[in-house]
Structure 1
């Protein structure tokens, strides 16, 4: 029998009242995930910080959207 590889999925609820905190939180999640997945953490951090909050979220989703679903109080946050 072939072993199946499963992925853990996590949902993160973002506090829309604290935009600065969102960026910091996502950078921390990105660091943890990129290290766990063997990705280039420094390069990903630089790319995430090379724009506004929308850019940061979009970049995070591009790298980690398969593993982490970002949610605000009502729905998914996807850019």
Structure 2
């Protein structure tokens, strides 16, 4: 599955990724609270890298031009 992130509204990217992470981690039987805590432990770039660390096998994050690096 691919998720396209709207780079024009970066204020909602973090919130959206946290919601995806919560849903996915619960569905996959992962430690949701620790994953969300880790994602929130830094800036937006850290949040994206952490999301990719846990979920890149299931979701590919895309910005308007290309795949977001992991």
TM over 0.5: yes
Unaligned runs of 5+ in 2: none
The answer to whether 1:78 aligns with 2:69 is: yes
Unaligned runs of 5+ in 1: 1-9
Shift of 1:19: 1.2
Q: Extract structure 1 runs of 4+ deviating beyond 2 A.
A: none
In our comparison, the structure showing a higher alpha carbon Rg is: 1
Measured in 2, the distance between the counterparts of 1:78 and 1:36 equals 24
Find the residue that maps to 2:38 and give its secondary structure. Answer: helix
Measured in 1, the distance between the counterparts of 2:10 and 2:42 equals 14
Aligned residues: 70
